[in-house]
Chains A and B, each alone.
Chain A
Amino acid sequence: MSGGKLAIGVTVVGLGISVLAGALVVGNPAALLRSAYTHPETAAAPSGPYYPQPERLPPYSQVALTGDARLGEQIFNRGGGGGVAACSTCHGAQGVPVAGAPYPRLAGLSADYVAKQLYDYASGERTNEQMRPFAKALSPVEIGAVATFVATLKAPETELSSPAQVERGRQIAEIGDNAHAIPACGACHGLAGRGQGDMLPPLAGQPRAYILSQFNAWRADRRQNDQVTVMHGIAQRMPVEDIEAVASYFASLRQKGQ
């Protein structure tokens, strides 16, 4: 899809793009130039009559769409200016941290997702003392670059079940809990926690400590950056035992062959 990406990059600068509709995914930039298309947001004169319009493409998506993966690889492996440590130090050379470490696996995340997290660390929407200074030191171009590189790191295939799995955790992940109005984790995060779409990260194989820390962050409003704003409520409503069960369950779905 690199052709498509290029076309989108061109589009973003010139015309703007809708998030929900994702209106312009074309493989051929020449075809795009021939097209009479302009996005309604840019087409409507500000003084024109009102009509409802799609959301604008957020800045993190714009930098993710135009990121330079080679620059990103450099920062990921060797760090960057302003004291930015190499991402691989904690998150592992292939975006997979060493077993037992509390850091999240980055392999398998989309460029949009990674760019959004870095923007949100910098703004404080997602609070993390280790990440904040790095995110603040990175320029938008560098954020786009790192995000684009991370998106090239293939997600390891994870197990569909495990002997150590926590049954209660599996239950919540697969069917949810009516009593607390908890949707199944899989309704968004995909089957067996393998992630879904660009903005719904895989959960399978993430360290138990990391999943717990995120639940705590959502409960305490130290993290409030999920796009559809459901995680705060879900984390608040889930009993502590269920949070632990879910964290143990996803952590038990390890990378295949581990």
Chain B
Amino acid sequence: MARTLPATDVVIIGSGWSGGIIGKELAAAGQRVVMLERGAPQWTSPDWAPPQVHDELKYDRRHEMHQNAAKETYTFRNATSETALPMRSFTFAYPGDKLGGAGAHWAGVTYRFDEVEFRLRSHYTQKYGASILEGLTSQDWPVSYSDLEPYYEKFERLAGTSGKAGNLRGQKIVGGNPFEAPRQSEYPNPPMKVPFAAALFGESAANLGLHPFIQPASLVTRPYVNSEGLQMSPCAYCGFCASHGCEHFAKASPNICILPAALKQPSFELRTNAHVLRIELTADRKRATGVTYVDAAGEELFQPAEMVFSCAFAINNARLFLLSGIGTPYDPSTNEGQVGRNFTHQSRGNVQLFFSEDFHLNPFMGAGAAAVTLDDYNGDNFDHGPLGFVGGAYVQIQVVGAGPITFRPTPPGTPRWGSAYKAALKRYYNHAITLGTSGASQAQRGSYLSLDPTYTDAWGQPLLRITHDYNEQDLKLSNFVVDRAMEIAKGMRGVQQAVPNKMRRPYSTATYQTTHLTGGTIMGDSPANSAVNRYGQSWDVPNVFTVGANLFPQNASWNPTSTIGALSYFVTEKVKNEYLRTPGPLVPA
């Protein structure tokens, strides 16, 4: 029997970007906020101090900052006809653990979505006919780009995002992304430096008439005081970024950009090592009474609250909804029920490049988001008519660093061990790079989240089961953009060998793709097509909100963090202005 704690106004589950922003804003508005983080606290000093923070074995191989699969993992299967098995370690994606969540170990890539992305189904249907989306359950967002624009800007000022505007209030600017949706203001900081390999990519792309630009990144490029008055220092291009904490106060994270401001609020309380089991509901399942969690000592505690914000890692929010009995679980056989539906990952594909020996790429000098990239083959920036798929991909060379454990490029056909392997490693370490693509992924009936009937976590609760495979549309997309990437590769000086890797069925959890898992509790304009409304508010339990990539109806090609940040501000604004005055559904069902 859980011990009941003194009541509070708001409980926030998770201390990542969405939890941090919402927690700080609501505490500043006078609400008593309790934030529950399942992992340990971690701060730049002392936890990310050098040199140990560059320990690849600890951070990249042993997943220091990722969800601990020994305690809580996912089960996976490609189709409902299969029996799902648990993942014993995380390879396909890196859900975050500890203070700051995935926002502490991300790479800093900070894209806004474009205007078309938010009205995906209606745009493509109108332009290309309904058949282009046949068999897919992708849909329009209940918010538009212009709804979110001011909040994108807010997030960029919080995170010190660096970049160059390509479309400032409709004015196209050379050097930025000419395809981006109009911005009201320039980025808070100038763009990052350009690694050599990325410059060679940009040169070839420009020769083909494409529009390369420096990838926007929340790695600050000059001393910066963010919108919360917190200090950040410039990126040193140390090359240990994603999966690591940043020792320089350069990579934006909840830990340096928002949590210190939240902790200054007298009505804000942070509890770490607090693992939430479920959101408790009244008997009629129409109202949440609080959350039950287990603390570091193993004691079960009930924290009563007026409002609950589920701000865990993307798909873990769907699991919390399922474990708590919020809404109706999705049933793929009838296509009914909303919780668990429209799970997507991203479409990947790349070209491995091997250079002649006089092209010294020095890939160890990099940063998580240091890239030259292009959107010519993204969104609806090209004709989809003859292609038979929707959306697109960004194509880029990103130089993230080249630690000796994780970066061991050898051409195909190289033996996996022995002297020939070592010779190839020596030959190519400084002369190889990946030309990457990151593509959209459309939702389909067979890709969804549910509770596993067999396997449980360390607390005896059912694991989240992922059922997923690539659909034809995603394969076509990957095929198309990898062919385009090959054209760029062939025009790059110094390249001796270009090896294309296209996406193939079946989808496998054994290789890293991205951490950008989306869906499960998607937002929509009606309870018939979504688990939550445009403010992340549950249609079924209106004092439960959730904000994360779990709200995305399907996955864009771009990285999700900026949109999660924008949604966090968008939701908070509505809650502060309306819900706190008159609690209840913010959108009529």
Residues of B within 8 A of A229 (CB): 222-223, 234
B49-A40 in contact (CB<8A): no
B198-A52 in contact (CB<8A): yes
A interface vs B, CB < 8 Å? 18, 20-26, 31-32, 34-38, 40, 43-44, 48-55, 174-178, 180-184, 186-188, 191, 228-230, 232-234, 237
Out of A22, A35, A48, A184, name the residue touching B247 (CB < 8 Å).
A184
Bound-state Cα–Cα, A188 to B234, Å: 12
Bound-state Cα–Cα, A48 to B209, Å: 10
B233-A234 in contact (CB<8A): yes
**A31/B358 contact (C-beta < 8 A), A44-B203, A186-B51 known:** yes
Residues of B within 8 A of A44 (CB): 203, 206
- Contacts across chains A and B counted by CB atoms under 8 Å: 147
**A183/B233 contact (C-beta < 8 A), A21-B195, A50-B174 known:** yes
Out of A21, A184, A234, name the residue touching B49 (CB < 8 Å).
A184
Identify 27 residue pairs between A and B in the complex whose beta-carbon atoms are under 8 Å apart, listed by A's number: A21-B199, A22-B360, A22-B365, A23-B362, A37-B358, A38-B493, A40-B200, A43-B203, A48-B206, A49-B206, A50-B212, A51-B203, A52-B199, A52-B212, A54-B194, A55-B194, A175-B46, A175-B49, A176-B247, A183-B45, A183-B247, A186-B49, A191-B51, A228-B233, A229-B234, A230-B233, A234-B233
Out of B44, B196, B206, name the residue touching A54 (CB < 8 Å).
B196
User: Is chain B's binding surface mostly helix, strand, loop or mixed?
Assistant: loop
**A40/B231 contact (C-beta < 8 A), A20-B196, A31-B358 known:** no
B230 within 8 A of A: yes
A53-B43 in contact (CB<8A): no
**A53/B199 contact (C-beta < 8 A), A23-B360, A48-B206, A183-B247 known:** yes
Residues of B within 8 A of A55 (CB): 193-194
Within 8 A of A (CB), among B188-205: 191, 193-200, 202-203, 205
How many residues in B have their beta carbons less than 8 Å from beta carbons of A? 52
B236-A228 in contact (CB<8A): yes
- Per-residue CB contact flags for chain B residues 338-358 toward chain A (1 = under 8 Å, else 0) read 000000000000000000111
Residues of A within 8 A of B195 (CB): 20-21, 54
Residues of A within 8 A of B389 (CB): none
Bound-state Cα–Cα, A36 to B196, Å: 16
A19 to chain B, nearest CB (A): 8
B interface vs A, CB < 8 Å? 43-46, 49-51, 174-175, 191, 193-200, 202-203, 205-207, 209, 212-214, 222-223, 230-237, 247-249, 256, 356-362, 365, 372, 493-494
A18-B372 in contact (CB<8A): no
Who on chain B is nearest to A28 by CB?
B358
Who on chain A is nearest to B359 by CB?
A37
Out of A177, A180, A186, name the residue touching B50 (CB < 8 Å).
A186
A21-B365 in contact (CB<8A): yes
A233-B223 in contact (CB<8A): yes
Bound-state Cα–Cα, A232 to B197, Å: 32
Most buried by B among A177, A187, A232: A187
What 3 pairs across the A-B complex have the smallest Cβ distances? A21-B196, A51-B202, A176-B45
B109 to chain A, nearest CB (A): 16
B203-A233 in contact (CB<8A): no
Who on chain A is nearest to B222 by CB?
A229
Given A229-B223, A233-B231, 8 other A-B contacts at CB below 8 A? Answer: A20-B193, A21-B362, A21-B365, A40-B203, A51-B202, A55-B194, A178-B45, A183-B247
Bound-state Cα–Cα, A31 to B359, Å: 11
Residues of A within 8 A of B43 (CB): 178
Out of B45, B193, B234, name the residue touching A230 (CB < 8 Å).
B234
Most buried by B among A55, A178, A191, A234: A178
Residues of A within 8 A of B372 (CB): 51-52
**A18/B233 contact (C-beta < 8 A), A40-B203, A51-B206, A176-B247 known:** no
B493-A54 in contact (CB<8A): no
B163 to chain A, nearest CB (A): 11
B494-A37 in contact (CB<8A): yes
